[in-house]
Amino acid sequence: MWYWLFKYIFMGPLLALLGRPKVQGLENIPERGAAILASNHLAVADSFYLPLVVRRRITFLAKSEYFTGTGLKGAFIRWFYSVSGQVPIDRTNADAAQAALDTAARIIGEGKLLGMYPEGTRSPDGRLYKGKTGLARLALQTGAPVIPVAMVGTDVVNPPGSKMWHFGRVEVRIGKPMDFSRFEGMAGNRFIERAVIDEVMYELMRLSGQEYVDVYAADVKQGKVDLAAKSRPAARMPEAAAG
């Protein structure tokens, strides 16, 4: 109930006023049945605008930190994410990552729409970063179609690092479902999983128009990668991923 109240009464009208959202490809979202929505990640607002334009309810896997805060603010955030149907996941180690995939598989098994950000974190500079293979493994294990979603303009309405929201224009571009049944039974093969996620990221690059950077966004944020040394005039996906 709270999900729909937030969408249509408490937050939806304000989000619509701020971002004037425009959606393309809405017909690519199935009316029923499970699917994985694989989206680029520019801002926190991505998790608000995508559910706003999609008729069906979307369940996102949210980092567990959102559910462990203290004080009045922590309690409110925990309540908000809980009543809006988001599922907490622990991302601290390999066992936690597997538990997150098990949770995601359960959601898909219930015939729901699962929202995932294959980059694993928000882009530090608006570019599209290397995808993590967890989404690929999930798609291969469950057989659920992967629907690429490009969010455009959310980082203008909700600039990363800022508590202020601004007027802008948000566009949601939904691509056609991607079927990976040709790789049935190959979940766990890291080469196949890399090929699958690269194919998804290529489609996200095509839909969003973002420049692709072949490193993990988390590594850039943690200072593990010298991005200047890896920058190229025109970064491209591997040819195998581009088909």
Among candidates 51, 70, 79, which has minimal Cα distance to 174? 51
Whole-number pLDDT of residue 174: 98
pTM of the model: 0.87
Residue 31 and residue 180 in contact, taking contact as beta carbons nearer than 8 Å: no
**Amino acid 69: pLDDT:** 78
Q: What Å distances lie between residue 34 and 81, 99, 110, 180, 212, CA to CA? A: 21, 19, 7, 15, 28
User: Helices H, strands E: what count in the chain?
Assistant: 10, 9
Q: What angle do CA 152, 79, 63 make, to 5 degrees?
A: 55
Nearest to 58 by CA among 149, 167, 165: 149
Give the three-class secondary structure for 151: strand
- Predicted confidence pLDDT, tens digits, the chain (243 residues): 777 887 888 789 999 999 999 999 999 999 999 999 999 999 989 989 999 999 999 998 777 776 777 888 778 777 777 776 677 777 666 666 788 888 899 999 999 999 999 998 999 999 999 999 999 999 999 999 999 999 999 999 999 988 889 999 999 999 999 999 999 999 999 999 999 999 999 999 999 999 999 999 999 998 888 776 555 444 455 554 544
Domain ranges in the chain are 19-44+94-230
What confidence score (pLDDT) does residue 233 get? 43
- Give me the pLDDT at residue 85, please: 67
DSSP type of residue 131:
P
Determine if residue 153 is left, alpha or beta; phi over 0 gives left, psi from -120 to 50 gives alpha, anything else beta.
left
Check residue 14 and give its pLDDT.
93
3-state secondary structure of 133: coil
Residues making up the chain, counted from first to last? 243
